[in-house]
């Protein structure tokens, strides 16, 4: 029996890069979208960023101008939690902080339809480009909820993999420790930034070196995921590299702060080690 996709309006909590990317993908595929953030200026900035994205898509011929305009028209700002009451699907895309996430879930449950359908829908960054979505069943996730989530993910052009509910799921469980090991390689003086990234791009055919990728993801996010792995799995192999901790404490978070393993004040960016 075919799955009936009961979703027409998608709400996204968190108007950062991930949340904005999710909005762009769902509206491109015909869904209405609500974007919410505690910082109201971020909501407006997200909508402007999405309008710019669709404008560029039309200018470069990647989608018809009319379709781009329609996608933009489907994006609405949600300036209070009560605005999310009409949503059929709510996606949390706030920063990697457990306390913040717990508060989001506690607060939003008071305005939603009865919240007995919960599942992990893990998008990859940048959302409009990356083809994968990891679906993660919770202990109480029923088959109907899983089927609807899978149908939704496929309806927005994503390929689905299924992960059990373990720290970092599949992709980050493999990817972030690789990045952490690259940082250890730098920390221990085995190679400099350029040597490590060139080595992995040309020696392992990676499209982006691990240190360049860390800067793209955000070093604070990389550190947070390593801490989740270290605490959740209690294995010393997941210990965050001290150099990663030092960079984050210094506020060198990568591209978003213009400095991480590369200095983005230069064109092209220059390694900082």
As annotated, the residues of the chain forming the CATH 1.10.1040.10 domain(s) are: 171-271
Which residue spans within the chain are E strands per DSSP?
9-13, 32-36, 75-78, 89-92, 119-123, 132-137, 159-163, 262-263, 270-271
Query: Using CA atoms, how far apart are residues 271 and 273, in angstroms rounded to an integer?
Result: 5
CA distance 58 to 93: 27
End-to-end Cα, the chain, rounded Å: 58
Q: How many residues does the chain have?
A: 273
**Residue ranges of the chain that CATH labels 3.40.50.720:** 9-163
Burial string for 225-235 (b: 16+ CB within 10 Å, else e) reads bbbbbbeeeee
| Structure tokens, 268 | 């092209």
The model's pLDDT over 36-52, given as tens digits with 9 standing for 90+, comes to 999 999 999 999 999 99
- Is the pTM higher than 0.85? The answer reads yes
CATH value of 171-271 in 1.10.1040.10, 2.60.320.10, 1.10.760.10, 3.40.50.2000: 1.10.1040.10
List strands edge to edge, sheet with 9-13. 75-78, 32-36, 9-13, 89-92
What are the distances in angstroms from CA 225 to CA 31, 90, 106, 164?
A: 31, 23, 22, 17
Asked whether the bond before 126 is cis by omega within 30 degrees of 0, the reply is: yes
What's the pLDDT tens digit per position in 181-228?
999 999 999 999 999 999 999 999 999 999 999 999 999 999 999 999
Please give the pLDDT value at position 1.
38
Mean pLDDT of 75-103: 92
Q: Does residue 2 have a pLDDT over 50? A: no
Residues 6+ apart with CB under 8 A from 67: 28, 58
Q: Which long-range contacts (CB under 8 A, 24 or more apart) does 57-63 make?
A: 63/28
Q: What CA–CA distance (Å, rounded) separates 82 from 121? A: 23
Residue 22 backbone zone (phi > 0: left; psi -120 to 50: alpha; other: beta): alpha
Strands (E), 84-184: 89-92, 119-123, 132-137, 159-163
**How buried is residue 264: exposed, middle or buried, by Cβ count under 10 Å (0-12/13-18/19+)?**
middle
pLDDT tens, residue by residue, 90-128: 999 998 788 888 999 999 989 987 777 899 999 999 999
Structural domain 9-163, CATH architecture: 3-Layer(aba) Sandwich (3.40)
**By C-alpha distance, which of 13, 83, 17 is closest to 255?**
17
């Amino acid at each position: 029996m075919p799955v009936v996709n009961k979703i027409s309006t998608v709400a996204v909590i968190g108007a950062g890069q991930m949340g904005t990317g999710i909005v762009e993908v769902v509206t491109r595929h015909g869904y209405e979208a609500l974007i919410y953030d505690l910082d109201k200026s971020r909501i407006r900035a997200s909508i402007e960023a999405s309008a710019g994205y669709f404008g560029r898509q039309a200018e470069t011929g990647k989608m018809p101008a009319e379709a781009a305009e329609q996608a933009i028209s489907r994006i609405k700002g949600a300036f209070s939690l009560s605005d999310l009451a009409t949503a059929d699907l709510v996606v949390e895309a706030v920063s990697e902080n457990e306390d913040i996430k717990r508060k989001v879930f506690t607060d939003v449950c008071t305005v939603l339809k009865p919240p007995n359908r919960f599942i992990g829908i893990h998008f990859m960054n940048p959302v409009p480009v990356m083809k994968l979505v990891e679906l993660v069943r919770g202990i109480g996730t029923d088959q109907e909820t899983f089927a609807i989530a899978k149908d939704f993910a496929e309806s927005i052009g994503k390929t689905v993999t299924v992960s059990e509910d373990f720290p970092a799921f599949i992709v980050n469980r493999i990817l972030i420790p690789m990045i952490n090991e690259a940082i250890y390689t730098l920390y221990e003086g085995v190679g400099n930034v350029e040597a490590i990234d060139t080595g992995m791009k040309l020696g392992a055919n990676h499209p982006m070196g691990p240190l360049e990728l860390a800067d793209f993801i955000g070093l604070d996010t990389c550190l947070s995921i390593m801490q989740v792995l270290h605490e959740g799995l209690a294995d010393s192999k997941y210990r965050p590299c001290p150099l990663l901790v030092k960079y984050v404490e210094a506020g060198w978070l990568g591209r978003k702060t213009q400095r991480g393993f590369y200095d983005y004040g230069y064109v092209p960016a220059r390694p900082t080690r």
